Chain A
């Protein structure tokens, strides 16, 4: 049997009690796989596993068995055993094994049931340590929509606030605090990975090293190298299938010349994973922003997040066949902005992003979501009852001050 992963001393002590061995094989293998690169996990992820195993450790045996009974039953019927499901591995092979099982739907239900029992206790711990959080989602100025056509899928969840934009369009985002609040928060708090900026362009670029910053545009060098390398791997036909390709892609790390993330192993791996395991993140700026945001929420639980979308280009003919090629080089027709397509894309992304944050106890009841559109006379705010804004039209600095007050900067 493989050794337990190298984890924190507190978690190590729990694992040495044999907790992993008491778990159903698929659950145990998943946890093992997630924890095995402990040094590349964000603090929030490490904390989750420490709290999860502490909870399991203090769960009375009868309750413990009850929590996992159904999953064990399903695993037995699926033929999960040490051979099909080695405890050290939860790779594509295991995913494939589960997917192809006639009992897959039951397995998913059983897993959901396990978390249905575990999560309330873990969430309660999180809620007790809750603090105000802020999410700013910025749409680009070029969107061809008036305020009433913005944020249509989530508008009913919040309140539209009339704004009084400045005469200088360039002052809009700075006056709203979209550029300064992440920096102020990072400057005030010592813990890393709490303040994030994820954007398509560079308009929200922070000027503070403690702000985690990913920009599709700024990562152009890394993106293009990844595309060239993937293309070369595919052309060389050295890898027989997706499973082997996945192993090769893990080696394509960001270089120092390609982005500041290279200086931090956790952030470097995050960048690689976003670009190589996300759907279309190499190709479409807004997909990059959405997927990076989803992963940041799932993994790092930022306290302050500024998320800036852009306008994507129209897809050129044959792009779907040339996904790892430079589209400008393969087709001399100049790239054109797809403003209408971008608008349609973003309307659903606003919903997905808001939903993703709200899945986690860290965000429920204490997060202000400010949906902004660069230059627009209106914003959408979804917020807890104790966050209030006066009736508008509001001057942007007044809004920014209220947002700063909310997160204490």
Chain B
């Protein structure tokens, strides 16, 4: 196991921004430069039975309403390792991943982010991952030595910021505790500033101005979150606000948003799990609203929405919705909804796979994924 250095710990605990050394990438121009792709994953895992099965439709009203406008893949299969990091890493690389589950290894090979940036010459602000789990700190770039961090995506882990800020508020014994929005926001900003610079000293070398811009953008997302009409409750709402702010400020061409609240299922409360699914549905719908409202995205964005993995079936020995370790069909058989630019309406039962997502996104972005096992989804008429 790799030794946990201070730098490594900070990287895992917080937020990492890819190396922003400018001018080192001079690839051929992209074939379809205007297209954008947003990948939205129901991270943490959700079952068919609580989503697109007849009895689950009530939990996902926004996706149900969006479905007729998109192409629905009724059988999207995760044939890989049923853990969070490996599942999402398979989605972003186009190959089934079997690396360390606790985030001590980057995805094997190259990610879509790196290929996209290298082949199109896209800048460092054109590829982002907004995720929750701290093990996703290494999701932005794979192990391919010819690519890696210089071409990787920025990785922002809003919940980790929230975690540090909230714990700090608790430690300080503020009168209102975590119900004091101002105190939480103040600490969020503080942690973001401290943690950001502490983690990203290579960014500092690349130029304080750019870093300041990123930081200010993220802080706006934090303020929207804390001062929103509803009391902020969880990490996914912050993930949404940060993702939306990144869209508004930097309009990246490639964005991965990994929601996570539904992993509350591990707590063993079915009602909390259902609530989290509905919240993710709502936030996904709000992301789509932003796509349609934002001129930088409207009409040229494809959004692919899919669960990272499922969860154990009710009849399974591994204890049903609480876990995702059995490998039964309830864990593996998922769905995917594609929406947006050029996507025809329709649906298919043809089995497709999580690794097809990267190949499909690559085709939309006009890049190749050498060595990827996944295939572009022909139903999308790319």
Chain A residues close to B by CB (< 8 Å)? 96, 99-102, 104-105, 108, 237, 240-243, 278-281, 283-284, 286-287, 290-291, 294, 312, 315-318, 320-322, 325, 329-333, 338, 340-342, 344-345, 347-349, 351-352, 355, 359
With A325-B170, A341-B272 already in contact, the answer to whether A352 and B267 are too (CB < 8 A) is no
Supply 16 further A-B pairs (C-beta < 8 A) apart from A279-B268, A317-B178: A99-B83, A100-B98, A280-B268, A281-B268, A287-B267, A291-B268, A315-B272, A318-B166, A320-B264, A329-B170, A331-B179, A338-B271, A341-B271, A344-B274, A345-B271, A355-B315
With A317-B179, A348-B270 already in contact, the answer to whether A242 and B102 are too (CB < 8 A) is yes
Contact partner of A331 (CB less than 8 A), chosen from B98, B178, B326, B327, is B178
In contact, B320 and A321 (Cβ under 8 angstroms): no
Provide the B230-253 mask, 1 if CB < 8 A to any CB of A, else 0: 011111000000000000000000
With A and B bound together, what is the CA distance between A362 and B268 in angstroms? 26
In contact, B267 and A348 (Cβ under 8 angstroms): no
Within the complex, the shortest CB–CB distance from B163 to chain A, in Å, comes to 5
Please name the residue on chain B nearest to A231 by beta carbon. Answer: B167
Contact partner of B81 (CB less than 8 A), chosen from A99, A312, A332, A342, is A99
What residues of B have a CB within 8 angstroms of the CB of A342 in the complex? 271
Within the complex, the shortest CB–CB distance from B2 to chain A, in Å, comes to 9
Could you list 22 A-B pairs, sorted by A, with CB under 8 Å?
A99-B81, A99-B82, A99-B325, A100-B81, A100-B99, A104-B327, A242-B102, A279-B266, A279-B267, A280-B269, A287-B267, A291-B268, A315-B272, A317-B234, A318-B178, A321-B159, A321-B235, A331-B177, A344-B270, A345-B270, A348-B321, A359-B317
What residues of A have a CB within 8 angstroms of the CB of B4 in the complex? 240-241
In contact, A351 and B314 (Cβ under 8 angstroms): yes
What residues of A have a CB within 8 angstroms of the CB of B178 in the complex? 316-318, 322, 330-331
B91 beta carbon closer than 8 Å to chain A: no
What residues of B have a CB within 8 angstroms of the CB of A284 in the complex? 267-269
With A and B bound together, what is the CA distance between A355 and B315 in angstroms? 8
User: Most chain-B Cβ atoms within 10 A of its Cβ — which of A101, A102, A318, A338?
Assistant: A318
What residues of A have a CB within 8 angstroms of the CB of B125 in the complex? none
With A241-B104, A340-B271, A341-B271 already in contact, the answer to whether A318 and B233 are too (CB < 8 A) is yes
What residues of B have a CB within 8 angstroms of the CB of A99 in the complex? 81-83, 101, 325
Dominant secondary structure of chain A at its interface with chain B: helix
B323 beta carbon closer than 8 Å to chain A: yes
What residues of A have a CB within 8 angstroms of the CB of B317 in the complex? 359
With A and B bound together, what is the CA distance between A102 and B99 in angstroms? 12
List B1-15 residues whose CB lies under 8 Å from chain A.
1, 3-4, 9
Q: How many residues of B contact A (CB 8 A)?
A: 53
Within the complex, the shortest CB–CB distance from B44 to chain A, in Å, comes to 11
B281 beta carbon closer than 8 Å to chain A: no
List B160-182 residues whose CB lies under 8 Å from chain A.
162-163, 166-167, 170, 175-179
B322 beta carbon closer than 8 Å to chain A: yes
Within the complex, the shortest CB–CB distance from A343 to chain B, in Å, comes to 8
B86 beta carbon closer than 8 Å to chain A: yes
Contact partner of B269 (CB less than 8 A), chosen from A105, A294, A331, A341, is A341
Chain B residues close to A by CB (< 8 Å)? 1, 3-4, 9, 81-83, 86, 96, 98-102, 104, 159, 162-163, 166-167, 170, 175-179, 231-235, 261, 264, 266-272, 274-275, 314-315, 317, 319-323, 325-327
In contact, A312 and B269 (Cβ under 8 angstroms): yes
With A and B bound together, what is the CA distance between A101 and B81 in angstroms? 8
What residues of A have a CB within 8 angstroms of the CB of B83 in the complex? 99
In contact, A329 and B271 (Cβ under 8 angstroms): no
What residues of A have a CB within 8 angstroms of the CB of B162 in the complex? 318, 321
What residues of A have a CB within 8 angstroms of the CB of B101 in the complex? 96, 99-100
Please name the residue on chain A nearest to B170 by beta carbon. Answer: A330
Within the complex, the shortest CB–CB distance from A73 to chain B, in Å, comes to 18
With A240-B1, A283-B267 already in contact, the answer to whether A100 and B86 are too (CB < 8 A) is yes
What residues of A have a CB within 8 angstroms of the CB of B102 in the complex? 241-242
With A and B bound together, what is the CA distance between A332 and B286 in angstroms? 31
With A and B bound together, what is the CA distance between A330 and B307 in angstroms? 33
What residues of A have a CB within 8 angstroms of the CB of B81 in the complex? 99-100, 104
What residues of A have a CB within 8 angstroms of the CB of B269 in the complex? 280, 284, 286-287, 312, 315, 341, 345
Please name the residue on chain B nearest to A348 by beta carbon. Answer: B270
Contact partner of B176 (CB less than 8 A), chosen from A290, A332, A338, A355, is A332
What residues of B have a CB within 8 angstroms of the CB of A312 in the complex? 269
Please name the residue on chain B nearest to A242 by beta carbon. Answer: B102
Contact partner of A352 (CB less than 8 A), chosen from B3, B163, B177, B319, is B319
User: Most chain-A Cβ atoms within 10 A of its Cβ — which of B9, B233, B321?
Assistant: B233
With A317-B179, A330-B177, A332-B176 already in contact, the answer to whether A352 and B272 are too (CB < 8 A) is no
With A and B bound together, what is the CA distance between A357 and B173 in angstroms? 46
Within the complex, the shortest CB–CB distance from B63 to chain A, in Å, comes to 21
With A and B bound together, what is the CA distance between A407 and B234 in angstroms? 48
Please name the residue on chain A nearest to B230 by beta carbon. Answer: A317
What residues of A have a CB within 8 angstroms of the CB of B82 in the complex? 99
With A and B bound together, what is the CA distance between A279 and B311 in angstroms? 14
What residues of B have a CB within 8 angstroms of the CB of A242 in the complex? 102
In contact, B176 and A241 (Cβ under 8 angstroms): no
With A and B bound together, what is the CA distance between A280 and B271 in angstroms? 14
In contact, A294 and B327 (Cβ under 8 angstroms): no
Please name the residue on chain A nearest to B169 by beta carbon. Answer: A330
Within the complex, the shortest CB–CB distance from B137 to chain A, in Å, comes to 14
